[in-house]
Amino acid sequence: MRIAVAGGTGRIGRLVVEEARRRGHDAISLSRGEGVDLTTGEGLAARLDGVEAVIDATNPPVSDVAEAERVFATVTRTLLVAGAAAGVAHHVALSIAALDRVQGNPHYFGKRAQERDVARGAVPFTIVRATQFHDFPAMIAEWSIVDGEGVVPPLLLQPIAPADVAVALVETAAAPALGGSFDIAGPRTEDAVDMARRTFAARGRELPLRASWRGAALGVEFAGEVLLPAEGARLAPTTFDDWIAAGAD
Ligand SMILES: NC(=O)c1ccc[n+]([C@@H]2O[C@H](COP(=O)([O-])OP(=O)(O)OC[C@H]3O[C@@H](n4cnc5c(N)ncnc54)[C@H](OP(=O)(O)O)[C@@H]3O)[C@@H](O)[C@H]2O)c1
């Protein structure tokens, strides 16, 4: 099956392209670095020739709520309109578990706009709502370095291995469209501060860390069980411990 991975050069998109090829699919990537800009549609139509499924793993850079809603909606509609014209049979969007529970975060506003437009679009769809990836706490610690310390909010997560997300996206793309969404999560809950410390240790990165909501990339609206997956979520096999033991990549 020919699968186009929008954002196929990104953190998760690269793994999706690799996983699709491993399963014998003909996978191509769509990104600005490869001549396809999904905010304008430049270069897109020609790349969708013969594509049966599109997996959207883009992450366009945005700085505020208004820009996030506008850019995520534009990228989504551009993909769907071109996909419908090219006869794409399944649009799979990577979204975030607990999306409706968090207000005030620009990325979440953008993702809600994306989900809304996927559901309104002319291409049969499935939305895969993943929990945070195993490298998420280390990533957000790098975003918030204050006086030489990485600030990590004390989140409760049920994180998932990036490679397991890639498997779920490729399996979903090859199956019939659900016309709805499902949550996918890792097998157990974890403490984000402990995860960040262990990720940096496994990678040999020396960055002192401080647990705090103040100065952190995510605020107290993410506290408690907010980020846990919905009841009945599909659970992927790779634990955080497994991922650390395999090198935290
Ligand atoms: N990290 C997590 O814990 C987590 C959890 C659940 C869901 N997610 C979702 O996963 C998605 C992917 O995240 P990521 O960290 O893998 O992203 P990433 O590493 O930042 O990669 C983003 C990809 O999108 C492409 N892109 C950005 N703007 C584009 C445009 N205008 N046109 C075409 N391509 C464009 C980038 O390539 P160019 O820059 O070359 O265009 C790149 O290939 C996000 O939407 C996020 O919500 C993440």
Q: Is 8 exposed, middle or buried (0-12, 13-18, 19+ CB in 10 A)?
A: buried
Q: Which domains does the chain have, with CATH numbers?
A: 2-245 (3.40.50.720)
State residue 127's pLDDT score: 98
Residue nearest to atom 18 of ligand 1 (CA): 10
User: How remote is the CA of residue 13 from the centroid of ligand 1, in Å?
Assistant: 7
Angle between helices 162-174 and 11-22 (to 10 degrees): 50
State residue 103's pLDDT score: 85
User: How remote is the CA of residue 101 from the centroid of ligand 1, in Å?
Assistant: 22
User: How remote is the CA of residue 188 from the centroid of ligand 1, in Å?
Assistant: 25
Mutation to probe ligand 1, out of 5, 15, 19, 32 (largest number of atoms < 8 A from CB): 32
State residue 236's pLDDT score: 98
State residue 104's pLDDT score: 79
Positions in the chain short of pLDDT 50: none
* Whether 196 contacts 155, CB under 8 Å: no
Local structure of residue 196 (DSSP, 8 states) = H
Nearest atom in ligand 1 to 9's CA: 43
